[in-house]
Amino acid sequence: MGFPGDTHYHPLFAPLGNRSLATILMQSVNAMRIAYLDCFSGIAGDMCLGALVDAGADPDRILSGVASLDLLASVDFVSVTKQGFRGLAVRIEHPEQHSHRTLSDVHAVIQNSSIEESAQRLALRIFERLARAEAKVHGTTIDRVTFHEVGAIDSIVDIVGTAIAWTSLKIEQAFASPVPTGTGWIEIAHGRVAIPAPATAELLRDVPIAPCSIPKEMTTPTGAAILRELVHEYGSLPSMQVARIGYGAGARDLEDRPNLLRLLIGESVARTASRKRTARKNDGSTVVVLETNLDDVTGEQIGFAVERLWNAGALDVFLIPIQMKKNRPGTLLSVIAKPEDRETMESVLFQHTGTLGVRWRYQSRTILTRAAIDVETPWGLVPGKVYQLPDGQVLFSPEYDACREIASEEGLRLSDVTEEVRACYETQSEESEETEPSDDLSDYQQSKYEQVDAPKLFEGLMDEPSSIPDEVKDRDDQDDREGGDDGDETNWYRWDSSPWSDR
């Protein structure tokens, strides 16, 4: 989908239109929609939300979702200037509140809203990260954590709004610069604490910190939780073709730099052949599979555990009936997740199933190359995916959520809607195959279009995937990491390379 209000959509984000299928697939090869968060002035929830809206997220969609939370909060997006640079600030007004919220309270607020499921899951994962950090620093469990600052209405709006905006932009991978935290002291509900606040410091474990002597809180717990949930890698700006740039403004005015969060969104650029092995390590071809056998928990408990696993970011969760020792019927609970989420999934399983042990293994998977498109239908644009089978056959699948919404609003059968969307795709695909290649292709892509037909586009792209993640790999990639032309990837973000020096 394109960005709202933008009449010059990036080709990869545009509807099917008159582009040929070969053009769409060529644009998807070795590319994904990525984002880079340039945190030169730290990050807070309102800064992230403002940057996302400034970069093209639909504000009406966010306002509608926030209204469904029933918090009586009003949200306004205002263009402001920070040290001579424009940015978008988020203004939130709400009634005064006197009570603090627990994680279950926040869950209820979000799950009782009309926000789409993917955004709900993301918002809940961010709050659960906050709860785990608070539980760790206060020596308690996440169900006993009471949110103070981050349980306030404006923090809920920031996180939920960010989740709605992020999922609507369909960002597949995120990167960020090292993060300045500031220095000095700050007053919180538990008293006067050093910056970064304890929960912020806990959330920023293993995250590179940028030096900053400004005596203010530059990164808040909400901002840190958003970073930890969204960002895959930290460092300098990755190779990418930038389509949109957004600036989210913080509340303060700083003396030595604009208090802005810069967000760049675009298409990743394929790396050189010498880097292919390194690049594929995090391409999603390796997952972790966790399993546990259950025979002494109720169906309600299992159902609740499954729900929490989904909220924690599981890729898939499924149940299989099994026969256990002593002729007892049981349930095999299996979870598929990203390797970096293994400990999170284990924590959920131990906490909500009562199991005494969890088996886990890393496993390879083959992923079909695909591209997201929008199809013109009688009900407007409907999102879907085109993908190619190993035998070269190209297929289309409409998005279930979009078809379900149409079926509900129009009083139609779901099968009738999906069949109509598929028929519209077939018609537009046949028409687009008869057109010339799009003018928005580069010369290189034009030449490839002329040389390669659609069934051959994916040949050679899927090498044998790695079977285990970096920490358990053999050391045969040592030369790739230490030498050759990969050296430039170790050039981390340096504050003194930015126009605002912290000296």
Q: How confident is the model over 269-298, as pLDDT tens digits?
A: 754 333 333 333 445 678 999 999 999 899
Average model confidence (pLDDT) across the chain: 79
CATH classification code of 286-364: 3.30.70.1380
Q: How confident is the model over 344-382, as pLDDT tens digits?
A: 999 999 999 989 999 999 998 888 888 888 889 999 889
CB distance 348 to 292 below 8 Å = no
Q: Is the pLDDT of residue 488 over 60?
A: no
Alpha-carbon distance 410 to 488, whole Å?
54
Please tell me whether residue 164 adopts helix, strand or coil conformation: helix
Q: Report which of residues 347 and 8 the model is more confident about.
A: 347
Alpha-carbon distance 223 to 207, whole Å?
13
Short-list 283, 289, 294, 281, CA closest to 341: 289
pLDDT for 435: 52
Alpha-carbon distance 388 to 368, whole Å?
6
Q: Is the pLDDT of residue 450 over 50?
A: no
Alpha-carbon distance 1 to 382, whole Å?
9
Q: How confident is the model over 125-162, as pLDDT tens digits?
A: 999 998 888 888 888 888 888 775 544 788 899 999 99
Short-list 260, 217, 267, CA closest to 51: 260
Specify the CATH architecture of the domain 370-436+444-456.
Roll (3.10)
SS3 string, 385-404, reads EEEECCCCCEEEEECHHHHH
Alpha-carbon distance 441 to 453, whole Å?
16
pLDDT for 190: 67
Q: Check whether the bond before 4 is cis (ω within 30° of 0).
A: no
CA distances to 250, 266, 313, 457 from 175, in Å: 20, 12, 18, 28
Alpha-carbon distance 335 to 360, whole Å?
9
Alpha-carbon distance 316 to 330, whole Å?
20
Q: Is the pLDDT of residue 417 over 90?
A: yes
Average pLDDT over residues 406-433: 89
Q: Is the pLDDT of residue 494 over 70?
A: no
CB distance 344 to 358 below 8 Å = no
Q: Is the pLDDT of residue 101 over 80?
A: yes
**Dihedral of alpha carbons 459, 464, 469, 473, sign:** negative
Q: Is the pLDDT of residue 404 over 80?
A: yes
Q: Report which of residues 9 and 320 the model is more confident about.
A: 320
Cα 453 → chain centroid? 33
Q: So where are the chain's domains?
A: 32-269, 286-364, 370-436+444-456
Average pLDDT over residues 462-488: 42
CB distance 309 to 278 below 8 Å = no
Q: How confident is the model over 74-92, as pLDDT tens digits?
A: 999 999 999 999 999 999 9
CB distance 196 to 204 below 8 Å = yes
Of the ranges 2-11, 47-56, 106-115, which one carries the lowest mean pLDDT score? 2-11
CA distances to 241, 288, 465, 466, 468 from 363, in Å: 32, 6, 10, 9, 7
| Structure tokens given for 77 | 């997006």
Average pLDDT over residues 329-350: 93
Please check whether the two domains, 286-364 and 370-436+444-456, share a CATH topology.
no
Alpha-carbon distance 58 to 65, whole Å?
11
What's phi and psi for 399, nearest 5 deg? -70, 130
Alpha-carbon distance 304 to 311, whole Å?
11
